[in-house]
Amino acid sequence: MVAQVIDGKAFAATVRAQVADQVAKLKDENGITPGLAVVLVGEDPASQVYVRSKGKMTVEVGMNSYEHKLDVDTSEADLLALIDKLNTDPAVHGILVQLPLPKHLNEDLVINSIDPAKDVDGFHISNVGLLGTGQKSMVPCTPLGCLMMLRDHHGSLSGMDAVVIGRSNIVGKPMAQLLLGDSCTVTIAHSRTKDLPDVVRRADIVVAAVGRPEMVPGDWIKEGATVIDVGINRIERDGKNKLVGDVDYASAAERAGAITPVPGGVGPMTIACLLANTLTAACRA
C-alpha cells in the first residue's frame, strides 16, 4: 500500500479563496472589512517569518492587517495596554499575540487579557472551556485545520478510533476535543504512555503533535490508517538543513491509507484557519 498524500497546501488555497469570497460579500453588503492585529514581541526569526506570511495572506484575502512589532524588553504593562487598546478598537476583529513570548512576560496572563470574541487563536481560557463543553467557541487554528482535512478525506469520522500523540494546550488537547465532537473514540497518548507503539497501532486516525523529529516509525501505523503529522522539526541530514515531521514519512507512507507531508500538510492550513476565524469573529461582531 502506498498512502494517498493529503495536500494541505492545495486545501488551504481553497479555504483562503472561500474566505476571500465571504470577505468581499461582507464588504459589499455590510460595509465591513475584517481586521486582524498581530503582535510580535522581540525578534525570534521563526516568529518573524510567520508574522510576515500571516500579514501577506491577510491582505490577499481582502482583510486589513495591523502589525505591532515591539522590542524584546517591552514591559508586561505596555503589552497589556496595547492589547486593551486593540480589544476596544472596532476596526480590529481578531487579535493574535505571536508565541513564544520573551521569558519575562507571562503568556497565560497575556492570552487571557485578549477579548475572547477577538481571540482568533482560540487560546483564551473562556474559549478553551467552551470548546471542552461542546459550545460555540473560537477553535485553535492548527487542530481546526487537521479536523477539516480529516473530514474532507473521510466524510464522517463517527465511530473511528483516534490517537492523538501529544497533550499540549495548543494542539493535543483541543484536537482531542474536536475529534470527540465528531464522535471518534479518542486516546491522548504522550511520552509517559505505556506500550505507546501498541496504542498507536490500533488507531484509524493518528495525529502526531509531539515536536520530536520522526519519533513515530511506520511499524507503529495500522494498515490503512490516516496519519496527520503536525510536527515541524528542522534537522541536519547529509550536511543539509531539512524540515521533517514527528512521523517517519517514508516508512509510514508504506502502511498508511493517507498521510500529510511535512512541509505542505498541516502548516498551510493553520494560516488558512486563522483567516477563517478572523472572518467568523467579524461576522459575529
- Please tell me the predicted confidence (pLDDT) of residue 26: 97
CA 12/CA 33 separation, integer angstroms:
21
pLDDT digits (tens, 9 = 90+) for 229-251: 999 999 998 889 999 999 999 99
Q: Residue 39: give the domain boundaries.
A: 30-115
Do both 73 and 165 map to the same domain?
A: no
Please pick, among 54, 118, 173, 222, the residue that the annotation labels catalytic: 54
Please pick, among 115, 121, 204, 246, the residue that the annotation labels catalytic: 121
For residue 96, what are the β-bridge partners?
38
How many domains is the chain built from?
2
Cα 17 to its chain centre, rounded Å, is 19
Does the structure show a pLDDT above 80 at 82? yes
* Distance set, CA 72 to CA 91, 97, 204, 222 (Å): 26, 14, 44, 46
For residue 4, what are the β-bridge partners?
258
* Among candidate residues 231, 274, 264, the one with its CA nearest the CA of residue 97: 274
Asked, for residue 275, whether it belongs to a domain, the answer is no
Four-CA torsion 280, 139, 157, 244, nearest 10 degrees = 110
Do both 111 and 195 map to the same domain?
A: no
Query: Which grid cell is 179?
Result: 475529534
Banded pLDDT at 45 (limits 50, 70, 90): confident
pLDDT digits (tens, 9 = 90+) for 197-231: 999 999 999 999 999 999 999 999 999 999 999 99
Do both 199 and 103 map to the same domain?
A: no
pTM, rounded to two decimals: 0.95
Q: Is 98 labeled as catalytic in the residue annotation?
A: yes
Q: Is 22 labeled as catalytic in the residue annotation?
A: no
Please pick, among 98, 173, 222, 229, the residue that the annotation labels catalytic: 98
Handedness of CA 113, 119, 125, 129 (dihedral sign): positive
Asked, for residue 261, whether it belongs to a domain, the answer is yes
